[in-house]
Amino acid sequence: MPETLGDRIRKRRAELGLTLREAAKRMNKSATILSRLEGNKERTPLKEETIRKLAEVLEDDFDTLMLLAGKVPQDVVTVMKDDPKLPEFLRRIGRENLSADQLTGMLPKKGKT
């Protein structure tokens, strides 16, 4: 079964030795909301800034948490909107099963042309 956002939050909180209340306080959220998130019962979509704060408090990767929340960061959306060919490019990457590491390896190294 794939990892959910709630699973990830609970796991990272436990790894850091934070209680539900401690983590919620650091996020300026209620323990009830954090509990609902961990239990995958929160139905209100999370705001990007809430996920950013979660990543900070849990010392976790923001982009991973955004993906688990089913969201795309606004800066990525902006890049996509600026180049109408990017969606098809990303679809092709998916069809070709290319990873981000493979694509990064194809880019010129900094300082070289």
The domains located in the chain, with CATH, are 5-68 (1.10.260.40), 74-106 (no CATH)
Q: 27 near 54, Cβ under 8 Å?
A: yes
pTM of the shown model: 0.82
Out of 16-20, 73-77, 105-109, which region has the weakest mean confidence (pLDDT)?
Answer: 105-109
CB 61 within 8 A of CB 30: no
Check: CB of residue 90 under 8 Å from CB of residue 100.
no
Q: What is the mean pLDDT of residues 75-102?
A: 92
For 10-19, the CB contacts below 8 A with 24+ separation are: 10/38, 12/58, 12/59, 12/60, 13/38, 13/58, 16/58, 16/59, 18/57
> Tens digit of pLDDT for each residue in 16-30?
999 999 999 999 999
